[in-house]
């Protein structure tokens, strides 16, 4: 049976670093999951931040890089060696401070005192620009707020259920996360994570770039942005990229799905670069419009 690759989740450092639980599969080569306080189960992660430091803890012939990458809410810690060849090569070439995107697998460690530590084994490291960072901040804020809202409702119930939360209007993925969080963490103080989202959105607003119009309107009612800033209320700025990518995937899909390399080729003809494609496919995966039956294959639902 083909091994499925987990979708890379968009999670801020403020949520990821507060994680205190993991889920290790019993089967051979089963993925390892970090369970965040908001209930997201993360096996692979996608984030953008500034690489602040880089250290080679290995040798020139056999490097082992440790890097600190800061997003607007906190710091991710990366460890890359010979088994992460692309990331290793990229880290060798990039010098801090530089803005990068990272797709990687979770890495966990439990200290002798029982404290839990989560870092990242990067699979892919690539330079990004400010608009790409802003789009990541906005989409990650949306998914995080979905989890916060669902968790707040879940904590008000004696025995929350996914079905009950969905009936209240929460997205299924957020409802699943909320029930998981309550079962593992009990009552969670969401305020520190919510405050970190305000810092992230403030960074987008202060930059004044084109992505400012994509800030969700709901952010005002949640107190993430000032109510006297109507100019940042969400506008319809979707350039149609998601629809284009989805149609390309559908057009290329046979019984087994579409080859990722073919999707790249067709998207480049439409002016969609690899980084933008990766972001779009992640959104489609998160929304449940496509899935990845095996590595390198994308199939519409």
- Model pLDDT, residue 229: 46
Whether 272 and 252 share a structural domain: yes
Q: Is residue 2 a part of any domain in this protein? A: no
pLDDT digits (tens, 9 = 90+) for 200-215: 998 888 877 666 666 6
pLDDT digits (tens, 9 = 90+) for 45-81: 999 999 999 999 989 889 999 999 999 999 999 999 8
Whether 22 and 98 share a structural domain: yes
Whether 188 and 285 share a structural domain: no
Q: Which residue has the tokens 């710091």?
A: 75
Q: Is residue 3 a part of any domain in this protein? A: no
Whole-prediction pTM? 0.77
Q: Is residue 219 a part of any domain in this protein? A: yes
Positive/negative CA dihedral, 144, 150, 155, 160: negative
Query: Cα(35)–Cα(185) distance, rounded to whole angstroms?
Result: 10
Domain count, the chain: 3
Q: Is residue 1 a part of any domain in this protein? A: no
Q: Is residue 256 a part of any domain in this protein? A: yes
Which residue, 99, 128, 157, sits at the end of a domain?
A: 128
Q: What does the pLDDT average to over 272-288?
A: 75
Question: Whole-number mean pLDDT of the chain?
Answer: 85
Whether 96 and 12 share a structural domain: yes
Whether 62 and 82 share a structural domain: yes
Q: Is residue 285 a part of any domain in this protein? A: yes
Query: What range defines the domain where residue 250 resides?
Result: 241-300
Whether 209 and 276 share a structural domain: no
Whether 161 and 140 share a structural domain: yes
Whether 140 and 215 share a structural domain: yes
DSSP state of 111: -
Whether 34 and 69 share a structural domain: yes
pLDDT digits (tens, 9 = 90+) for 96-124: 999 999 989 999 888 778 788 999 999 98
Which ranges of 33-98 does DSSP label H, i.e. alpha helix?
A: 85-93
Q: Is residue 55 a part of any domain in this protein? A: yes
Query: Cα(227)–Cα(215) distance, rounded to whole angstroms?
Result: 13
Whether 213 and 139 share a structural domain: yes
Q: Is residue 146 a part of any domain in this protein? A: yes
Q: Which residue has the higher pLDDT, 114 or 4?
A: 114
């Amino acid at each position: 049976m083909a091994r499925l690759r987990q979708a890379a989740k968009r999670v801020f450092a403020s949520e990821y670093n507060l994680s205190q639980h993991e889920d290790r599969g019993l089967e051979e080569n089963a993925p390892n999951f970090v369970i965040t306080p908001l209930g997201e189960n993360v096996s692979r992660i996608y984030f953008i931040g500034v690489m602040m430091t880089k250290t080679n803890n290995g040798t020139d012939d056999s490097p082992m890089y440790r890097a600190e990458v800061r997003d607007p809410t906190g710091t991710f810690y990366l460890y890359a060696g010979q088994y992460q060849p692309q990331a290793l090569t990229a880290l060798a070439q990039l010098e801090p401070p530089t803005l990068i995107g990272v797709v990687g697998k979770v890495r966990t460690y439990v200290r002798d005192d029982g404290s839990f530590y989560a870092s990242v084994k990067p699979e892919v490291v690539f330079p990004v620009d400010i608009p790409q960072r802003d789009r990541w901040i906005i989409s990650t804020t949306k998914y995080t707020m979905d989890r916060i809202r669902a968790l707040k409702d879940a904590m008000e119930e004696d025995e929350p259920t996914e079905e009950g939360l969905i009936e209240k209007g929460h997205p299924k993925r957020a409802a699943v996360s909320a029930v998981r969080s309550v079962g593992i963490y009990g009552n969670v103080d969401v305020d520190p994570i919510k405050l970190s989202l305000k810092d992230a959105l403030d960074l987008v607003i202060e930059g004044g770039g084109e992505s400012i119009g994509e800030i969700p309107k709901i952010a005002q009612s949640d107190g993430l942005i000032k109510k006297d800033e109507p100019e940042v209320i969400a506008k319809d700025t979707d350039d149609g990229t998601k629809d284009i990518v989805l149609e390309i995937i559908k057009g290329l899909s046979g019984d087994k799905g579409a080859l990722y390399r073919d999707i790249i080729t067709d998207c480049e003809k439409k002016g969609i670069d690899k980084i933008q494609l990766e972001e779009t496919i992640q959104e489609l995966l998160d929304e449940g419009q496509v899935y990845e039956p095996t590595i390198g294959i994308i199939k519409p639902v």
